[in-house]
Amino acid sequence: MPLSKGIDAPDFEAEATTGKVKLSDYKGKSIVVLYFYPKSFTPGCTREIQRFVELYDQFKELSAEVIGVSVDSLSTQKRFAEKYNAKFPVVSDKEKKISEAYQVLNEKGTSAQRVTFIIDENGKIVEVLEKLKKAEEHADKALEIVKKMRGK
């Protein structure tokens, strides 16, 4: 079971396609949409990143940052982000520490499940999206939630 809403989001520092990313750097500044996905370049994960890319400017207008995470290597993440023009950080969680902290590893412990966390400016998890029918729905639902949080 992934972490539930209402608790503090575990901080992390990790290598990403945009350089080092530290969750606490966003505290007090922006909402964070932290999405975990199983594997780069698979059909569902490709549709998901494409949708986050399409909506990214809207997230930014609402002072929200998107961060994608999977257990793929940094070189794979860089190819994945470049191919789909992801301007947001895509994190390599090769050691699975972030996935473990958020309790999203699959039963075998080989990859992350598809789960999206919405984290407010205070670092609290305000929403957890999982078990959605389509991978790309994570981006749309996350945007709806961020809009509500911003009163839009």
Q: What's the number of CA atoms in the CB half-sphere (13 Å) around residue 76?
A: 16
Tell me the C-alpha to C-alpha distance, in Å, between residue 6 and each of 76, 98, 117.
Answer: 33, 18, 11
Catalytic residue among 33, 45, 91, 118: 45
Alpha helices in 16-118 (DSSP H): 43-61, 74-83, 97-101
Instruction: Check if 119 is active-site.
Output: no
Q: Which residues are catalytic?
A: 45
